[in-house]
Amino acid sequence: MAEALRVGIAGLGTVGASVARVLRDKAAELTRQCGREIVVSAVSARDRNRDRGVDLGAARWFDDPVGMAQTADIDVFVELIGGDEGPSRSSVKAALEAGRHVVTANKALLAKHGVALAEAAEKKGVLLNYEAAVAGGIPVIKTMREAMAGNSVTRVFGILNGTCNYILTRMEAEGISFDACLKDAQRLGYAEADPTFDIEGHDTAHKLSILTSLAFGTRIAANDIYMEGISNISQADIRAAGDLGYRIKLLGVAQRTESGIEQRVHPTMVPTASVIAQVHGVTNAVAIETDILGELLLSGPGAGGNATASAVVGDIADIAKSRPGFQHGPVFGLPAKELRPYKKAQMRSHAGGYFIRLTVHDRIGVFAAIAKRMADNDISLESIVQHAAGPDTALQKTVILVTHETTEAAVRKAVDGITRDDHLTDKPQVIRIERAG
Ligand SMILES: NC(=O)c1ccc[n+]([C@@H]2O[C@H](COP(=O)([O-])OP(=O)(O)OC[C@H]3O[C@@H](n4cnc5c(N)ncnc54)[C@H](OP(=O)(O)O)[C@@H]3O)[C@@H](O)[C@H]2O)c1
């Protein structure tokens, strides 16, 4: 049998400790599948004395993950610390420079430094595997990088953040407010104490930036992503969506358009009957549309120790199965120098349907004025409905408009016009509608 693959794990938190446990519990299966043993020979974390729920006594302890990356007797450096700078970046860089394979679950690091790290891996002929960085346990990276050769991707979109999907699912199912759902999510450990990163869309954007690069062969450009979170989604939106045959999801969407590649993260209305609308709770899903395959939807657990460890262990096993002299495929599907600069489509040119909810003064002429603003901006309406804004609001009405395909620029202009007309009693709500099968 070939020599054992020696693994060093940096970071022994939720994911790192789970990876160590899976490698221990599944050692026999993994040895059979890989044709060699996988052993944890080095570990690093901040607190040496913390109980990790797994005996790591046989592994050499490193206080400093960079030192471990440089000097430990390991073949694979597994980075599970997190963060886009500091010890995660410097240790991954050091491991690649030392000619060691790297496995990471760190989307923030890849979104910011992925191309440079891919160049470093290619230079040394080593692997940089990151299946767990996007949609946790769902094997979307492998699917896009290895199983779709020859396909041209037209659009990739998905539910990439379990916290947001959990909140939106409960808001709809139980009729409770965003704030109440968020508190519950925090109590149950689905949301961080500071949830901004998740609920304002940053986490989704990091994952989307990686998918965009794989889909379109572009350099990662996370800073260019248009981003809106879910914190201003109200029960009124959820109910109106349901009445119209839609469900609200926070989607990350990347698509090729005539003016470039559009990357956007925002609350989105998808048809209730679509497959992606059936993805509930903390589950993630990624839809990939291509010219040959059509639409593929992968769904499954997007986070949590075990699900994420499954993807990390899969990446380690791939390295264990590879043989010396074998040429590894490029990190983002194309050699790093061939990843094209990214041509950004402006959000103003986004084309699609829109849901617009307006709370207006109940007075003569308002309805006609709204319709005129729409017509002035060439916006054709699929429906326009007016009803009482609520039991205690005799002086207000709610107007809900659904547009046919139009542009973001036209909708912004129309809504700005309506706001200037001084008919609104509350901030207007605009939610984009996404085509989904
Ligand atoms: N949690 C998930 O469900 C999930 C899903 C997908 C991807 N990920 C990604 O996986 C990575 C790890 O996430 P996690 O949830 O496991 O994080 P975590 O529970 O916070 O664990 C982080 C670990 O890093 C260690 N660490 C921090 N600073 C260090 C340093 N300077 N030197 C050495 N070790 C250091 C910590 O040590 P101590 O334990 O001693 O404090 C801890 O063990 C992140 O990139 C995250 O985005 C997580």
Residue bearing tokens 């990662």: 220
Query: pLDDT grade, residue 309 (50/70/90)?
Result: very high
> Is the distance from the beta carbon of residue 164 to the nearest atom of ligand 1 less than 6 Å?
no
Q: Exactly one of 207, 321, 343, 427 is catalytic; which is it?
A: 207
Mutation test residue for ligand 1: of 9, 43, 46, the one with most atoms within 8 Å of CB: 46
Query: pLDDT grade, residue 390 (50/70/90)?
Result: low
Tell whether the model's pLDDT for residue 135 goes beyond 70.
Answer: yes
- What's the pTM? 0.96
Distance from residue 250's CA to the centre of ligand 1 (Å):
25
Query: pLDDT grade, residue 325 (50/70/90)?
Result: low
Tell whether the model's pLDDT for residue 170 goes beyond 90.
Answer: yes
Q: Is 427 a catalytic residue?
A: no
DSSP H stretches of helix in 152-201: 162-174, 178-187, 196-199
Q: What is the dihedral of CA 331, 333, 339, 342, to 10 degrees?
A: -110
Residue bearing tokens 């264990």: 320
How far is the C-alpha of 96 from the C-alpha of 119, rounded, in Å?
10
Residue bearing tokens 């410097």: 90
> Is the distance from the beta carbon of residue 136 to the nearest atom of ligand 1 less than 6 Å?
yes
> Is the distance from the beta carbon of residue 48 to the nearest atom of ligand 1 less than 6 Å?
no
- Contact between 358 and 428 under an 8 Å Cβ cutoff? The reply is yes
Beta bridge partners of 333: none
> Is the distance from the beta carbon of residue 304 to the nearest atom of ligand 1 less than 6 Å?
yes
For ligand 1, atom 44: residue with the closest CA: 82
> Is the distance from the beta carbon of residue 13 to the nearest atom of ligand 1 less than 6 Å?
yes
pLDDT at 347: 96
Our measurement of the distance from residue 325's CA atom to the centroid of its chain's CA atoms, rounded to an integer in Å, reads: 34
Section 351-369 average pLDDT: 95
Tell whether the model's pLDDT for residue 127 goes beyond 70.
Answer: yes
